[in-house]
Structure 1
């Protein structure tokens, strides 16, 4: 989870599950939704941890709209948490699903992406439980220390070794301030050795970053698994440096899959995450650390926690944490290694993300000119209720669904126009971010 910036968002669910509690903390599909009618997710009477805001247009990554989400409370010990908020208050925000197509790709260090570096796939643990997993993964887990608004070491988080070339995966929000200001980023390994790190590339949209530590090629890479093989109830282990306590291990289960989580703050773009939810203890400082299955394979990147706030304003673990699925980590890391930047799919429309009844679908508020959405015949006022057979209950669910695919894919959209159900096929566009 994050320790460098305050962020805020909402956690509705396109599959009818109850949304998580109001959340905080900076933190991506083979699971099939349940059959039959799905009830709308209930709301919860949590405290006003972040104050309601009036109607506005909140811009998502890649949009030039000026609206922004309000900032949450800053935590102590030099850390800040992303706030994930259930829709408290009124109004609606519009999130951009498109902002044009980029034609040129930047040059990255490896033309073949992940194929050109030495990653590990085989599970290191057969039998042994949490103790065996901890023994294998701790040497592959690192602490990240980065400048925050000019303050050395103001941002701390976690990460894991991606390959034998010395690349490290972490959250974008851990290093975003240092990246923007040219600040120092350092990596501390399991043995306590500190290395200077270089930023290879980052994605605000998926809240991921790839670092390079040239002098750490002897660090063992973590084995990469598949979150798509997870089932609710499976055991998982979280690694990281919560509250500055390096090499911390916590264990729990998979609480939910494909949980839509949106994050954002006034100082950066929003991130929409199709998250793995877990009750393994995650706290500030865990951001960017690996979530691992009981075979010792990384299945996600710890990125956010839910919290009810509390009178003190401090946020901590209440058993509701979120991790970015490792499938998205593979895709984003591959893009960054190839080109130095990451891309995400877009359709070319604005969608309401607040003020709509969960379960009613995603209402399109605007369709941009010369975009995939316009070419497919979508219009303002249309309500998207399904994408490629997967039910959509609200705007955030639609964004998360789209961003779990790749640019160039063709998806079938089912939508309502004046009460009449229609379908259309959209080829996803592309944007950098």
Structure 2
């Protein structure tokens, strides 16, 4: 895990338009030699800015069939949350915090059907969880392209926290598409989408485009008063979402193996201050901790080294290091360029799986 520093400043004045919501997740089960052929999985990708003249109600109508209410029981206490069907074979994507330590989980569709759900796996670090249900004749969500999100674009936040038939919606404006979020207990979320909205409050939900494509899953950790978004100036009621691209990548790995497989270098790092950046003549991230016998340790990296690139990916901050690692796979060989004692050096290592 990597600590990160400042992120891009929030440019903008509020705009209130909309985007569709609903994030759903479902993935193929691993098929053995004697298993029947897997069911066909339907996952659609669309651009974020096409067919952009839908009303809020039209966007909600598009997303509604793919969003589910999640009811959990913990010690006799019932809680609710929101999930999204991301594949048509019954897998649902939600937050880790929504289902962690639950005694039972129930999924309720917007057409009134319900079914028990099994927690396939949880990634607590990134606040992502995958559920499996036996529901049939369900529709998977259309997934948007978050790579092209720009500050000032409008989106729609949607939640089924309070009602499965009457979703809570909020028009939001994108403030930043790569924010670091620090929350209570040392939790840090990287590369988050920040969206400023109305005073409508809800704990979790999905972020949608104005075409009804799911763009992200809102985390409840930003609702904590101790949570801070480093490097940005956030308006009241700013919410933070994990991009659907990364959430689905993690979810797919959970479905395949039961656990999240996240490329891991085995370091903690911080952003450079302005003086160090000026002295080096370039940006990077300075290593503050090295995990014993981890990939970085094996490669000979030391505390105080400044990482400036991973393969062909320039590193300008701790969060950019996290993003660069996310684009790789566990077991990949990577070349790391770093500065030690004023001299640039190069080393290689094999990425592990994050503990």
TM-score interval for Structure 1 and Structure 2 normalised by the shorter chain: 0.7 to 0.9
Distance 1:278 1:226 in 2: 16
Report Cα offsets for 1:227-264 as digits up to 9, x if no partner: 11323322211111356685112222222112223446
Taking structure 1 as the reference length, the TM-score comes to 0.62
Displacement after TM superposition at 1:347 (Å): 1.4
Displacement after TM superposition at 1:391 (Å): 3.4
Distance 1:218 1:389 in 2: 43
Distance 1:399 1:282 in 2: 32
- The 3-state SS of whatever aligns with 1:239 is strand
Q: Give unpaired runs (5+ residues) of structure 2.
A: 12-27, 33-37, 227-234, 278-283
- After TM superposition, the structure 1 = structure 2 runs for residues 156-305 of structure 1, keeping only pairs within 5 Å, are 156-178=80-102, 183-214=103-134, 216-242=135-161, 247-263=167-183, 265=185, 270=187, 272-280=189-197, 285-287=202-204, 289-304=205-220
Displacement after TM superposition at 1:326 (Å): 1.2
Matched, 1:142 2:68: yes
Distance 1:328 1:122 in 2: 14
Structure-2 residue corresponding to 1:379 = 302
Mapped contact 1:244–1:285 kept (Cα < 8 A): no
Structure-2 residue corresponding to 1:152 = 77
> 1:410–1:295: structure 2 CA closer, same or farther, 3 Å change rule?
farther
Displacement after TM superposition at 1:277 (Å): 1.6
Matching residue within 335, 340, 362 for 2:253: 335
Displacement after TM superposition at 1:370 (Å): 4.0
> 1:253–1:353: structure 2 CA closer, same or farther, 3 Å change rule?
same
Distance 1:334 1:135 in 2: 27
- After TM superposition, the structure 1 = structure 2 runs for residues 271-420 of structure 1, keeping only pairs within 5 Å, are 272-280=189-197, 285-287=202-204, 289-304=205-220, 306=222, 309=225, 318-349=236-267, 351-352=268-269, 357=273, 361-387=284-310, 388-394=312-318, 398-420=321-343
Distance 1:138 1:411 in 2: 42
Mapped contact 1:168–1:211 kept (Cα < 8 A): yes
Mapped contact 2:150–2:174 kept (Cα < 8 A): yes
Displacement after TM superposition at 1:159 (Å): 0.6
Mapped contact 1:372–1:426 kept (Cα < 8 A): yes
- The 3-state SS of whatever aligns with 1:197 is strand
Displacement after TM superposition at 1:345 (Å): 1.0
Distance 1:353 1:283 in 2: 35
Displacement after TM superposition at 1:211 (Å): 0.9
Taking structure 2 as the reference length, the TM-score comes to 0.74
Distance 1:353 1:210 in 2: 31
Mapped contact 1:260–1:400 kept (Cα < 8 A): no
Q: Give unpaired runs (5+ residues) of structure 1.
A: 1-8, 20-107, 311-316
- The 3-state SS of whatever aligns with 2:246 is helix
Displacement after TM superposition at 1:170 (Å): 0.4
> 1:11–1:422: structure 2 CA closer, same or farther, 3 Å change rule?
closer
Distance 1:307 1:333 in 2: 23
Structure-2 residue corresponding to 1:40 = none
Structure-2 residue corresponding to 1:5 = none
- The count of residues paired between Structure 1 and Structure 2 equals 313
Mapped contact 2:184–2:224 kept (Cα < 8 A): no
User: How big is the alpha-carbon RMSD for the aligned residues of Structure 1 and Structure 2?
Assistant: 3.6
Mapped contact 1:304–1:323 kept (Cα < 8 A): no
Displacement after TM superposition at 1:209 (Å): 1.0
> 1:386–1:151: structure 2 CA closer, same or farther, 3 Å change rule?
farther
Distance 2:220 2:328 in 1: 22
- The 3-state SS of whatever aligns with 2:56 is helix
- After TM superposition, the structure 1 = structure 2 runs for residues 118-129 of structure 1, keeping only pairs within 5 Å, are 118-121=41-44, 126=51, 127-129=53-55
Mapped contact 2:170–2:200 kept (Cα < 8 A): no
